Amino acid sequence: MAGNSQRRNRRTSNKKGAQVGSGGKRRRGLEGKGPTPPASARKGHVKNRVANAKAKQAAKRPAPRRGGAKGTAELVVGRNPVVEALREGVPATTLYVQQFIDSDERVREALQLAADRGMNILEAPRPELDRMTNGLNHQGLVAQIPPYDYAHPEDLAAAAFDDGEDPLIVALDGVTDPRNLGAVVRSVSAFGGHGVVVPERRAAGMTAGAWKTSAGTAARTPVARATNLTRALESYQKAGLTVVGLAADGDTELQDLEVLDGPVVIVVGSEGKGLSRLVGETCDLRVRIPMPGGAESLNAGVAAGVVLWEAARRRA
């Protein structure tokens, strides 16, 4: 029994006296630092460098316009079209290059332009490019353009009023050529307009061709897409804008139009058919551009430019 008592009282710890503590002085040093941040947030990690590169690319691109319908992605196919699109500032995000491509000046220029703009450059086998382009003659180069973010029609007038200016807006009725849309965007930008409105159906959208014709001005001039153009014009009227339609048989000549120095929407129809019936009936005024040379009509880009110049002259 005595032996068992001694074993029970035997010291089982190897400690040699009381441990000296910090007295709470290093309590903060003992606190946890929280969960480990993701790799994209850790400085020096490869994913962090990739995230920073993507952020820089996004900062170089024009801010997307919100509030309206969204377009669809587009591909620019072929060596000359790709180079021309990149030269003109078309907002492509990715350049696909065929593996083992026979390089020439156009290929080298496309690669240089894409690198200067911070675009993604991806190699792809020829069968993959054939599949992407539905068998078109891509010549080893394909540029991808993301969907265009259209503004809402009401936002154009609201932004002008917020800046203390009378809205000057161009609406296109039945214009299906993207180059005409690009030309109108360029004229609106040149003469101090506040944007362009296009219908959602049976009308040109902001394609690569429209971007090229706009000569870069599409990056700072908003384009809105209306589900129903007639209702969009009626909404403008309720906001105090005068809707002026261009028509060869208009009652007023351009030089006699007094409303151009106020809030106004200029509606331009197609070169062949002009304004549609409902849109024409919605207009407050129908104006004609005098043409002493005897031409029957002007295309949308030229007609809009003439009226915008007159509006800018009056507002000045």
The rounded percent of the chain whose pLDDT value lies above 70 is 77
pLDDT in tens, 273-296: 889 999 999 999 999 998 876 666
DSSP assignments along 184-247, one per residue: HHHHHHHTT--EEEEESSSS--S-HHHHHHTTTGGGTS-EEEESSHHHHHHHHHHTTPEEEEE-
Query: Is pLDDT of 242 > 90?
Result: yes
pLDDT in tens, 9-54: 555 555 555 555 555 555 555 555 566 777 667 676 656 665 666 5
DSSP assignments along 288-299, one per residue: E---TT--S---
Sheet of strand 94-98, all strands in order from the earlier edge strand to the far edge: 74-77, 141-145, 94-98, 120-124
To the nearest whole number, what is the mean pLDDT of the chain? 83
More confident residue, 72 or 301: 301
Give CA separation, 196 vs 126, 189, 192, 208, in Å.
39, 10, 12, 17
Cβ distance 76 to 82 under 8 Å? yes
Give dist(CA 67, CA 63) in Å, integer: 13
pTM: 0.71
